[in-house]
């Protein structure tokens, strides 16, 4: 199997502020390893879902693995055509296979922080839709233009997004 990952690359240690925090329309991510740094093989990120925030129902061909570092979040997973919410707490590991419809929400009073390992493609998607967040500031609410950009980029990447009605049936209000 051919790979572009350089097995002879030097060891690198990244400081906690090496990469910017990116706002993904409420939740944030910060790369520990960007797709470029990993030879376009994968990426590793820290994800934070603030209290009250959510990620609407979506799916993509990219595998995602989450390790809950702190807090708790609920994950909505479709199994056998039915959706169910499951609470994930600190220490839990979630392996989301390709093309599974899923969503996240944080109904707790503290941020849900997880370590994510995923594909370079999904990492590039986050880079493209993410808006840099200045240290010690809250991300600004998304504008209609920001939301339109998100939908356009999702479509270009081949990602499926649920409708507002589909999200509402799962208890996610987009508006």
Residues of 88-114 as b/e, b for ≥16 C-beta within 10 angstroms?
A: beeeeebebeeeebbbbbbebeebbbb
At 73-91, the pLDDT tens digits run 999 998 888 899 999 999 9
167's CB contacts (< 8 A; 6+ apart) are: 56, 57, 103, 173, 174
Confidence of residue 7 (pLDDT cuts 50, 70, 90): low
Q: Rounded to an integer, what distance in angstroms lies between the CA atom of residue 155 and that of residue 128?
A: 13
Higher pLDDT, 14 or 43: 43
Nearest to 117 by CA among 147, 94, 135: 94
At 129-141, the pLDDT tens digits run 999 998 778 778 8
Going from the C-alpha of 54 to that of each of 26, 40, 62, 174, the distances in angstroms are: 7, 28, 19, 9
* Mean pLDDT (whole number) for 90-114: 96
Confidence of residue 2 (pLDDT cuts 50, 70, 90): very low
Among 4-18, 37-51, 97-111, 114-128, whose mean pLDDT is lowest?
A: 4-18
* Mean pLDDT (whole number) for 131-155: 90
Domains within the chain, CATH numbers bracketed: 21-169 (2.60.120.10)
Higher pLDDT, 29 or 137: 29
Nearest to 74 by CA among 99, 54, 59, 91: 54
pLDDT at 103 over 60: yes
């Amino acid at each position: 199997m051919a790979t572009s990952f350089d097995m002879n690359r030097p060891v690198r240690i990244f400081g906690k502020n090496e990469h910017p925090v990116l706002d993904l329309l409420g939740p944030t991510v910060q790369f520990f390893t960007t797709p470029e740094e990993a030879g376009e093989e994968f990426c590793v990120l820290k994800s934070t879902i603030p209290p009250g925030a959510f990620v609407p129902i979506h799916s993509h061909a990219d595998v995602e693995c989450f390790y809950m570092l702190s807090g708790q979040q609920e994950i909505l997973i479709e199994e056998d055509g039915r959706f169910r919410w499951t609470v994930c707490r600190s220490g839990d590991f979630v392996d989301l296979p390709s093309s599974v419809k899923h969503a996240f929400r944080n109904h707790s009073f503290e941020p849900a922080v997880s370590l994510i390992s995923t594909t370079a493609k999904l990492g590039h998607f986050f880079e493209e839709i993410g808006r840099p967040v200045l240290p010690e500031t809250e991300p600004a609410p998304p504008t209609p233009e920001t939301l339109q950009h998100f939908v356009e980029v999702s479509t270009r990447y081949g990602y499926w997004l649920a409708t507002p009605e589909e999200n509402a049936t799962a208890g996610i209000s987009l508006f």
